[in-house]
Amino acid sequence: MDEPVIVQKRSLKLVMEPGTYFWCACGRSGNQPFCDGTHKGTRFKPEKVVIEERQLVKWCMCRHSDQGAFCDNKHRELE
């Protein structure tokens, strides 16, 4: 598996509480957008995200963002 799975071509907006989260970089997790370990055996590793204060987060669901876990609207360029 060389390319991540595109879960959807739009961000997932969630209000996040302070804490440490692990964003799924492979797109295979059953607990999107967070890692559930299904990347094992692939080249992908989850991205650690630390949220300092309660906030709305736009999680990347296409796995092509130049900002890692955070959506930069790169999904709009995908076919």
**4 in a structural domain:** no
- Cα–Cα distances (Å) from 56 to 2, 38, 70, 79, in that order, read 31, 26, 11, 27
Model pLDDT, residue 37: 97
Q: DSSP secondary-structure letter at 49?
A: E
Nearest to 14 by CA among 46, 66, 39, 49: 49
Model pLDDT, residue 1: 59
Q: Which domain holds residue 35?
A: 12-73
CB atoms within 10 A of CB 41: 7
* Sites in the chain below the pLDDT cut of 70: 1
Model pLDDT, residue 2: 81
- Please name every residue paired with 23 in a beta bridge, in sequence order, or none if there are none: 34, 47
pTM for the full predicted model? 0.93
Model pLDDT, residue 79: 79
**59 in a structural domain:** yes
Domain count, the chain: 1
**53 in a structural domain:** yes
